[in-house]
Structure formats: structure tokens, C-alpha cells
A and B are shown apart, each in its own frame.
Chain A
Amino acid sequence: MSDYAATVRAQLDPTRILRLLPLGITLAASAFALVWVLFWAPHTNFGPAIDHPDQFFITLLNGIYFAAELFIVASGFALIFGLMRVVNMAHGSFYLLGGFIAYDMQQHMARGGDFFIPSSSINAWEWIVPALVASICIGALGLVVQQVFLRWNLGQDLRQALITIAISVIIADQVITHFHQGLARGLSWPGFIDRFVNLHAFGIQYSLIKLVVTALGVGVGVLLWLWIYRTRTGMIIRAGVDDRQMASALGVNIQKTFAIVFFVGSALAAFGATVVASQGNVATGQDGAWLLNALVVVVVGGMGSIFGAVAGALLYGLVFQFAASYLPTSATEYAVVFTFILLALVLGFRPQGLFGKPG
């Protein structure tokens, strides 16, 4: 009996309670959020999920779709920063420039006059070719930046950060000079996917474009996974990340491999920009926003892991969409705050990120 009392006393030890307090508050807050979304949600756009399951599922799909956009842009950053540990603060500018290159290419192909072209007059090639051209141009730009500036500064985080910040400022200014004053421009999706489809669940009609974007995100993820985990180049990349010197002492030209990674990572920034700018637009200022998005995804998910980037993008996308849909109507603009609460929580409980390796 006294044993039991001692156990209870130990459990109620003030330092122990203090230590568990943050976890308790987090769990309580999560439970509250869940109850709020499912059963309560007064003064919101749609009301609780139990009354309006269709809106709940649309929010869920929107979250996954947004996660796909985040993942495509952030996957390049996950390769360069997460895997190779090169602090590339120019990823956002690569995104910006890529978006404008894709826009100009589509205007050129579809003979637009710097006006928004309706989807109905765009065919598949008039989207695919701009996306590829932008990706290859930005991939090449990334390669040049890496070869000229970064390969001499391996492992020197501060230098890499300063160099790439300088490059990003230069690119951002050049975009304003040479691309429509950096004003918002949107690409158009090919007409045949610009429609709604019946999902045969809760009577939801959902945008086919968003489903295609989601599929593109999954496709990029699968291809990257196959590349990193199933090919010889992928083995060399992983070996080089573990121990660059030892890999080169096995007859592997690790610089060449890292150059390929930089090309692919930069190209993905431009591809992501093409996708996002086809849904909305590309404009000066988005470089910083998307660098931050990519940073949050990689830090939440954990460095050095493709799964980490997937998990980071999903969490970010879902938290943002649910906050935007289920905050009271007067406060929906605070949705972005919740993504930073997510970041703070992950850093608080798991500083290396969800799938990151410590050290």
C-alpha cells in the first residue's frame, strides 16, 4: 500500500509535472482543435464536419493539393539543403525566375499578348513545354551557381548563405527589370483538365486541376524516391552525404554527382513555380515566401530524407487549409500563424524534424 502511495507521490512530483506540461498542453490543444473541427466550429464558413462532411472532405483534399504544391517546390530544396547540406538561399529566386520564364514561354507559344490566356485555347504541349524549358533553364542556372560559387565553400554554411542571398537579391532585381516589372502573371492550364469532376462522395464536384497537381506531387515524390534509393547515382549521393571524402577515395567523382543533384534540385524549383503560377500567379515577393515555405517543409520533415519532405509538406498543407477553413470567419487571415505553431511544436519536441537524423 505504501508502495502505491510512493508511486503516486513520484508521479505528482512538481518537476515531473512541469516537464510534462508542454506535452500536456499540446495534446489538449490538439484534442480541442479536433473537437472544434468535427463537432463545434461556430461562426465559421462551413460549420462543423458532422453537419457538413462535404466541406470537411473538400478541405482535406485542398490540404493534400496544397501539400503537393509545397512538396514539388520544397523537394528541390530538400535535395540541396536537406541532403547535400548546401544552404541555398537562392531557391526562392530560382522559383521566381522559373515562373516568369515559363509564363513568357507559354505566351510565346500560344501567341498571347501578355494577357491572361483562357485555358480553352491552351493545349497540353503549351503547358508541358514551358514547364520543361523553365526547369532546364533554372537547372542550368543552379548548376552554374554551384560550380562557380558553391563548390569551393563545401561545409561553410555562413559563406554559402551569404553568397546565395546575394545571388537571390540580384536575380529578384533582374526579374523586375526584364520580366513585366515583376508584376503578377499567371500561366494557364491546358483546357482539357480545366473542369470539375464528380467524386461520387458527399456529392462533391472537385477541380480536376487540383487532382492533377496532387498527382504531379506524388509523381515527383515517387521519381525522387526511385532515384535516391534504387539507382547507382542515388547510392553515390547517399554515400557522398555520409562521407564525401571516402566516396571519392572509392573512385567516384563526387563533385560530378553533386552537380547533378544541384541541377535537379534547382529545376524542381522552376517546375514547382510553373505549377503554382498556373493555379494562381507568379510575382515579385513570392521568392521570399516560397523560400520560407520550403524551409518550413524541410525543417518540419527533417533534413536528409525524402519522406521527411513528404511529411513536412502534408502537415504544412493540412494545417494551413484546415486553419483557413475552420477559423471563425473574422480570423481566417490568421491561418498562416498555425503553420508557425506547427514549426515551433516540431522544433520544441523534435529539433531534428520528424524524419531527420540527429547530428
Chain B
Amino acid sequence: MTSIWGVATVSEPLLRVEGLNAFYGSAHVLHDVTFEIGREPVAIIGRNGMGKTTLCVTLVGLTPPRASGSVRFLGRELLGRPPYKITQAGVGYVPQGRRLFPSLTVDEHLRMITGSNGGTWTIDRVYELFPRLAERKRHGGAQLSGGEQQMLAIGRALITNPKLLLMDEPSEGLAPTVIEAMVETFKQLAEEGLGILLIEQNLGVATSIADRQLVMVSGEIAAETTGTQLVSDPEAQRRYLGVEPLAN
């Protein structure tokens, strides 16, 4: 089965993380994190300070001083490789807080990236997906609204032609209507065959994008559940996320 993303095998997992440990100095942040994801969207949920963002930056090869274990992406080991190689291998990264470049315009954010990578995303296609950005080509990253900034952060990750989109709290600080539109975009991307690994605190967003939910507690994957289960189990929501249950 060949999707437009150009990868044939279904049996091979997209991403297989095994026994991943990460340390900041002497602080042991990730403990033997092990999970596998395929083509379906997956969300990792958990409270603040549980190691979600550390997991994210370890997967893309940023900051953590020491990490051990294994991160295999399409059968290739990624751990210990420089971030640009990891991106070139097909992991697109949308960081927490967007991290746009203040010195670059919207258009330059997209043009600075090499593109190709054997995929179909082009600058024009990003502008098609987010017409709002096309109207703001010449604006600086800092002049955009929160939603537009998020569009740009997603757009520039897409231009690297990822097979897996890794997103760290994309709903953070956005208005509910903007979040709704964003969720629709993610669903559409997932339907087109893009793998999505979403790290979220907003249960509503996590469950509407992904059915499979991994719960992170104190640097470990403590449980796996599904969105449907989680939504109907207020007790689990309180336990895993420390939030008041979803009102529905």
C-alpha cells in the first residue's frame, strides 16, 4: 500500500522508541520510555513537568545532554544523530511556543527550508493550506497573531516533507475557535497519510485528533488508553491530567 507519502510497508511501525532514558545533568527525566506508533495519529498526554517536552526534544535530537536507548524511525536509528539529519529522515517538528525566527518574514520562514526530501509539500501548497499566511507573506514572525504563528510553525514543518509530524502543545495559548480550525487541519493531514504524534495537555484537542492516547507520568509511559475511554472516564482524567473532567 503506497500512500502519497511514499512509504510502502504497513507492517513496519513508523516510530519505535525502546528503553529511552534521558538526563539533564544528574536529573533522570525519562525512564525507559517504550512505545510504538504506526500511521494513525497518537497523542501523548500528561500533566505539567511529566517529561512530555523532554521526550519531544529527545526525539528530534535537541538539547538533552545525555540520552540512551533506541529511537528507530522507519527502521533507522535516530538517537544521537544531529537534529537536521533527523528532520531530513522525515520527522517534522512543531515546537512548544512556536519558536519562530524574529528576523525572518513569513515567506522567508518557508523559503529557508530545503524542501524536496522526496515529498510533495511546496511553499505554494502551504499557502493553499493556510491562505491567511499568504496574505501576510511580508510580515515578520512577531507581527502575527497566535493562530497565524501556529500556522507558520506547522507550515514550515510541513515543507520539510515529514512522514511524521511531532507537535508539542500546538493548542497552547490559542483561542477556542482557532483551535477548532487547527484540529480540522490536523485531521485532514492525517487522512492524507501523514503520521502525527501530538503532545498535549488539552484533552479536548488530544481526543479529537487521536484515538490512541499514551499517558505520561513522571517520565514514564504509565498507561495507554483510547480517546473514547478517556472521555467517558472522569476519574481517569483527574488522575492523569489533574484537570476537572470534560463537561459533556
Contacts and interface: CB of A to CB of B under 8 A. Distances in A.
A313 B198 CA distance: 50
Interface string A80-108: 00000000000000000000000000000
Interface string B100-117: 011110001101111001
Contacts of B99: 243, 246
A241 B86 CA distance: 21
Contact of B101 (A242, A249, A253): A242
Contacts of B113: 250-252
Nearest to A252: B84
B83 to A, nearest CB: 4
B149 to A, nearest CB: 13
Given A243-B99, A246-B99, A251 B88 contact: yes
Contacts of B108: 235, 238
A243 B103 CA distance: 10
Interface string B76-104: 00000011101110000101000101111
Interface string B56-86: 0000111100000000000000000011101
Interface in A227-253: 232, 235-236, 238-239, 241-243, 245-253
A247 B88 CA distance: 13
B103 A251 contact: no
Contacts of A242: 101-104
B104 A238 contact: yes
A135 B63 CA distance: 36
Interface string A243-265: 10111111111100000000000
Contact of B103 (A241, A245, A250): A241
The winner among A239, A247, A250, A251 for most chain B CB atoms within 10 A is A251
A239 B84 CA distance: 14
Contact of B87 (A235, A238, A243, A251): A251
Contacts of B87: 248-251
Interface string A56-69: 00000000000000
Nearest to A250: B113
At the interface, is chain B mostly helix, strand, loop or mixed? loop
Interface string A103-119: 00000000000000000
Given A250-B156, A252-B112, A245 B104 contact: no
Interface string B37-61: 0000000000000000000000011
Contact of A232 (B95, B102, B111, B160): B111
Interface residues of A, number: 18
Interface residues of B, number: 27
A164 to B, nearest CB: 25
A77 to B, nearest CB: 20
Contacts of A253: 82, 84
B157 interface: yes
Nearest to A233: B112
B93 A239 contact: no
A242 B84 CA distance: 17
Contacts of A239: 101, 103-104, 109, 112
Nearest to A235: B112
B101 A246 contact: yes
A238 B62 CA distance: 19
B111 A246 contact: no
B112 A245 contact: no
Contacts of A250: 84, 87, 93, 112-113, 156-157, 160
A298 B58 CA distance: 37
A253 B111 CA distance: 15
B101 A243 contact: yes
A251 B83 CA distance: 7
A245 B114 CA distance: 16
Interface string A204-241: 00000000000000000000000000001001101101
Q: Which of the listed residues B88, B108, B157 has the most CB atoms from chain A within 10 Å of its own CB?
A: B108
Of B86, B101, B117, B157, most buried by chain A (CB within 10 Å of CB) is: B101
Given A235-B111, A236-B112, A248 B84 contact: yes
Given A239-B103, A245-B62, A232 B112 contact: yes
Contacts of B104: 235, 238-239, 242
Nearest to A256: B84
Nearest to B91: A249
21 contacts: A232-B112, A235-B108, A238-B101, A239-B101, A239-B109, A241-B103, A245-B63, A246-B99, A247-B112, A248-B83, A249-B61, A249-B84, A249-B87, A249-B95, A250-B93, A250-B112, A250-B156, A251-B113, A251-B114, A252-B112, A252-B114
Interface of A: 232, 235-236, 238-239, 241-243, 245-254
